[in-house]
Structure 1
């Protein structure tokens, strides 16, 4: 058995090599916070963090209220590490001694703005391309970044799969980093010569203020479907949170209006894209090759056209490409660079082909919500005359309501569905599988194929591969690019891509 890795430990994020010190009085005034020690108004701040273990000399320590503890309880540790001031609320202020305290009723809401001020407002010196939505964020950011590189721009990328400065890859623990880490990262990117940063903007990032203080050159919206209802009370709240990216913080707003929610985001100057209705950018002549690549013609404002070649299958990737094209065109990126960037883009774990010379198609996809599962399986179904064999599980400690819905969508679109474990986290894996199976087996027999339960994910992948024949498609859904499987608080090394490739080699040798 591979060695077990304990759950993720937050590593200290990168920081710029130097910052211009800012007085605590200036920071307090910038966000209308009360400074408890006016005689220390001159104290100089050179960094910001909300983790006491990451404090450096000269830092402002953000002591935020939490569900289990108050950050102010760690103020002494932060002071010992070199913190020179604390940002907190009234409840936390009484727990801090010996340091000037900036007291604000909602410290999380102003943390981004404070960090931006300390790190020199880095987003004002970069073009930041923000993409939000339920599905397609990762793919769209990769498409935009690929085209920017083709245009000769120096790029950075922040998202679910990775954080990258040029070719230098950093670990990506959160889709969008916490506000002080994000501002420091943007400052590092600028310091290293980056001109453009493409960034996934999650609803958690918007709801928890992680992108506070960031000015966006472009804000883009992909779509909205059920997800994260463990964080949001309902879909309306989920949408309103996503909509914050379009509250004026982005200089250009681009929206895919195919779905029911998106039209509410459209304003007078919004750039729209669609594959199912009229919009500023549309697609025609979509053609799919037997191996899944596709081509289409994009039509835009003023008679602009672009012939697109795309390695990624699925109608949803036509929509993602149109969104990327519209964003890039709005910022003046040459269409020839856009064409080359889209032709060459590859996205880890998103409809990723695994080719070991087998006579069937094997795909790994990150689809982990009902609509994404449906779209991924529709995409592979459209290009095969054979069977669709799907491996699917659901993560624990997340939105439980989507589990039977995912099982239903997969069962309707698969000839064989193998229900397995994803990342059970702190939950009983058997109970998660039971919820997925409940949805799958609720589909009438005549409308679904065979449904099998194999808890061990590697075993489930091996079983799916053993069933595959020439012309079939095996889809391993849910974990995509991930390289670990979290069970009962322990992360075990596991890669769907590696497991699928190994199973194919063992079966076909």
Structure 2
């Protein structure tokens, strides 16, 4: 729908600094100057390195939305197109984008999943539950965007506001009735979900991450809490909060008595989960007590944390009016790429790929493997460059405390020196080993190795494994590239692990044939 500049200026609380506000109408909005269609509204936002107004000349936009700094840049460059000036572009960008795209979120049932770990898995579980209920479902998240089953890859967990509203509009036009969205703390802090009306918000957990963006854990929590806080403009109609950690408990108190709480442990909650029974290949069966009923559930995913994710997904669906028994039926068929993904080529040891890239997540996945492996547990782990550096030794420590073998390798070094990143992870791992030895805990002291090449590290872990052992390749999960400098090199942990296992099996078969 085409909107006049006067309407946008009034909506955003801005002023039209030049041009006519009634004669110009726009039907598109974006922050990428080159990708914006002709006649759209270019939102020139300030960035960490430069201001978007400097790229206005690359846009065929009919008008420009910017702040005072951007207005000065445009004036210096003799910009002649109409310019709307606001105090903070990002603060109103989502609201304007929603209007330009016809408020698409109002036409669908929207679910937002936030937290440190488990967002993607919970989103997949919720998608499966809603599909089982017969709905047309769209998903927006880390693994990309799917519209009626068709993948639309995205670079961000939660896209920038104009892209998000455009995607929602396409979903609505395509007949999608229910949308599941991962909501990152960056998205909340940067206003990407302003203008999006959520029906149900879900919280998984909170642990150290993104402290390169948030100054403290308190700031990180406060940002997430805006999705649940009474009076917040982005608060959903219904809140569902997992209270298995202290942050969940704190959030439930902040959200108020209207929030639904979920617990897989002993903490009081609206929805509780029975002790799971472990089946073949790590599948789990358990009961969820909700609305006075015990609902039998099964998921093909190992780990107590995935029981929590499944219970959260089911409860979110019920909060939107779905029948718990119906949606539970969909959970048993979920497949989550790169999340506790079992690589089975007929080998005599367990091999798993997982996205765990935070200390708490590393501890959780190793605990899961320890409970399922008859023998030893090994992990290949690294840390990303240009991200929270404080968590690197903590990740090494978490790995060394729970594994028999820790191979520290490269993740996505980006612009940093890979050796320096590995050194930080190594420091934490070796310190944990020293502490364990000094405490007399010699029963299991991790073998710590450093192998820069990720492929060689994976092969070393496969060669190390004996019958009954378990190996996990952690950190990159579903990713299909490794970012070194500004270059993304093709790399898929699951494919690399599969090749390494196949090669080992070929050698074993050849050796058996010679004996």
Q: What is the TM-score with the length of structure 1 in the denominator?
A: 0.94
Corresponding position: 1:33 with 2:14: yes
Q: 2:95 maps to what in 1?
A: 113
1:63-102 residue pairs with structure 2 within 5 A? Answer: 63-78=44-59, 81=60, 83-96=61-74, 97-102=79-84
- Structure 2 residue aligned with 1:344: 333
**Is 1:50–2:47 an aligned residue pair?**
no
Q: State the 1:288 CA deviation.
A: 1.1
1:179 alignment partner, one of 133, 149, 161 = 161
The Cα offsets for residues 181-209 of structure 1, whole Å up to 9 and x where unpaired, read as 00000000001000011010000000111
Question: Which residue is equivalent to 1:306?
Answer: 295
C-alpha displacement at 1:98, in angstroms? Answer: 1.0
By how many angstroms is 1:332 displaced?
Answer: 1.6
**Paired positions, count:** 486
Q: Is the 8 A contact 1:290 1:383 kept in 2?
A: no
State the Cα distance separating 1:290 from its structure 2 match.
5.1
After the TM superposition, which residues 394-409 of structure 1 pair with which residues of structure 2 at under 5 Å, given as runs? 394-409=383-398
- Alpha-carbon distance, 1:55 to partner: 1.6
Counterpart Cα distance in 1 of 2:396 and 2:497: 21
Question: Corresponding residue for 1:153?
Answer: 135
Instruction: Show structure 2 runs of 5+ residues with no match.
Output: 507-515
Q: 1:466 is matched with which residue?
A: 463
How far residue 40 of structure 1 moved from its aligned partner, in angstroms, is: 3.5
Cα distance per residue 1:261-283 (max 9 Å; x no partner): 12232212000001121101111
Find out whether 1:499 has 2:488 as its counterpart: no
Question: In 2, Cα distance between the equivalents of 1:233 and 1:144?
Answer: 32
* Residue 337 of structure 1, CA deviation: 2.5
Select between 322-331 and 335-344 the one with higher mean Cα deviation: 335-344
Residue 289 in 1 paired to residue 271 in 2? no
**Structure 1 equivalent of residue 182 of structure 2:** 200
Distance 2:298 2:264 in 1: 16
Matches of residues 40-439 of structure 1 in structure 2 within 5 Å? 40-78=21-59, 81=60, 83-96=61-74, 97-247=79-229, 248=232, 249-266=235-252, 267-276=256-265, 277-289=267-279, 291-301=281-291, 303-439=292-428
Write the distance in 1 (CA, Å) between the matches of 2:32 and 2:4.
Answer: 21
- In structure 2, C-alpha distance between the alignment counterparts of 1:410 and 1:228, rounded to whole Å: 20
1 CA distance for matches of 2:42 and 2:293? 50
Structure with more contact order per residue of length (Cα contacts < 8 Å, sep ≥ 6): 1
> Which stretch shows the higher mean deviation, 89-98 or 184-193?
89-98
Return the alpha-carbon distance in structure 1 between the equivalents of residues 245 and 465 of structure 2: 35
Return the offset for 1:45: 0.7
**CA RMSD across the alignment:** 1.1
Choose 290-299 or 427-436, whichever is displaced more.
290-299
- The aligned counterpart of 1:4 is none
Q: Is the 8 A contact 1:419 1:453 kept in 2?
A: yes
Structure 1: distance between partners of 2:151 and 2:330 = 20
Alpha-carbon distance in structure 2 between the residues aligned to 1:59 and 1:91:
21
> Secondary structure of the equivalent of 1:261?
helix
* Partner secondary structure for residue 49 of structure 2: coil
Inter-CA distance 40–331: structure 2 relative to 1 (3 Å threshold) = closer
Paired residue secondary structure (1:355): coil
**Structure 1 position 39, deviation (Å):** 3.3
Distance in 1, matches of 2:294 and 2:333, equals 19
Name the SS of the counterpart of 2:428 in structure 1. Answer: helix
Q: In the alignment, what sits opposite 2:512?
A: none
2:19 and 2:83 in contact (8 A); partners too: no
